[in-house]
């Protein structure tokens, strides 16, 4: 059975803020970013360990990049082998900020 993909309220709010901020000046660019976020996160259903680990941010943190933005997620269980039941999208933010401060 494929793993379940869930978004936290913070991740949804972050993606929406990015979309709104970009759309003020460039609506088409905002739509492209939104689609790329969706494609990247949906790909986690088939490849839950696609993102690299970033324990310096948080022990379970994994990251996907859509420069300059990053999608931070974690898997449940947090292992490097065996089946994954849930991928939790935790934050979608500008990657140039202090990511460890998010937690």
Q: What is the CATH number of the domain that holds 81?
A: 3.30.2310.20
**For residue 10, what is the enclosing H or E element?**
helix 9-23
pTM across the whole model: 0.92
Per-residue pLDDT of the chain (103 residues; tens, 9 = 90+): 778 999 999 999 999 999 999 999 999 999 999 999 999 999 999 999 999 999 999 999 999 999 999 999 999 999 989 999 999 999 999 999 888 888 7
Burial class of residue 100 in the structure, from the number of CB atoms within 10 Å of its CB (0-12 exposed, 13-18 middle, 19+ buried) = exposed
State which residues form the domain around 50: 4-102
């Amino acid at each position: 059975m494929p793993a379940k993909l869930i978004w936290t309220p913070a991740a949804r709010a972050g993606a929406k803020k990015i979309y709104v901020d970009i759309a003020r000046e460039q609506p088409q660019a905002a739509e492209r970013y939104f689609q790329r976020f969706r494609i990247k996160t949906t790909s986690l259903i088939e490849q839950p360990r696609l993102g690299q680990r970033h324990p310096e941010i948080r022990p379970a943190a994994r990251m996907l990049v859509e420069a300059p933005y990053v999608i931070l997620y974690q898997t449940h269980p947090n292992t490097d082998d065996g089946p994954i039941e849930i991928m939790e999208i935790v934050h979608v933010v500008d990657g140039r900020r202090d990511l460890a401060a998010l937690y």
